[in-house]
Chain A
Amino acid sequence: MSDATLFGLCGAALAGLGLYGLVTHPEPLRKILAFNLLGSGVFLVFGFVSRRAATAGVPGDPVPQAMVITAIVVAFAATALAIALVLRLLEQTGRATLSSDDPASATGEKGNS
């Protein structure tokens, strides 16, 4: 197994872990953390793609690397926005949950059941 494959599989596992955290954690901060884990796993898949293309003289395909740099910056921006939302929610309500106690979505859920 090449090093690229090893890290690629690691990325797949991390993505799975992150996905699990994003889906099951009720706490928004933990969801944001999980999203970052999921993101870094996906970036490692790009790393796998880049490294697999290594030939003599070129350590890897630079195109996926450039894409990962773009995506890391976007993920940071997303994290900053999400955290700002969580903290604003905390400021206003004294708690930070996604559980719907607001009338808007509560009506929706009632209609569902």
Chain B
Amino acid sequence: MSENEGALLEIRGLEVVFDGFRAIDGVDLTVGQGELRFLIGPNGAGKTTLIDVVTGLTRPAAGTVRFAGTELTGRREHRIVRLGIGRTFQTSVVFEELTVVENLDLAAGFRRPLPALLRQRRGVSGTVAEALDVIGLGDLADRPAGVLSHGQRQWLEIGMLIAQRPRLLLLDEPVAGMSGGERERTGELLTRIAADHTVVVVEHDMEFLRRYASQVTVLHEGKVLVEGDVAAVQADPRVQEVYLGRSREDVR
């Protein structure tokens, strides 16, 4: 299977090309079972693209992506989800017409056979109740998701992810656009989830990173720049250069 025994996700030699532009250029990445991994890097480093490849949204030009020994490339999105990978999006997408509970119930239900779907939902299943509890939206359970605030939507999305009961969670910038208090709560949520899940978090926010990350991978221009624990990565001069250099460009 692989040289790394505890690995849940193994990416080898990954390349993604958009109209001649190499968004990902030979990335190797291994995420072990139970790990909480942060993926950082300046804009355009290929972080989101990496997640897109893992979840089937983008087809790679070369390379392999293995999840618990199963090759993911070429599989369609919902198949990958069924293998046990869940993700969130930078801009949260929840179903505004459905209530919070219905959103969660939907997420929890993909293993149900079609005939079972034809029945009406009665009450709230254990999985949904648990997810509702974790994200703390119990008071809003029967409100349509459309009335939620930005932060609440992000939590609902995370809740939907939990309700899916995946083996690997991929969070794409979960705290982007959040207020300080919301960040705090999201961080706690993350810690709680990470306790019994394998999680990969794409994040921009260095403060958030410092507080909650342990293992960090830095991407730059489609390549892995550095990998290691937070302190080591932060101390790495290449990382500092990339971030400082890039931030100047960002202003342009």
Query: Do A and B interact?
Result: no
Mark B residues whose CB is within 8 Å of A. Answer: none
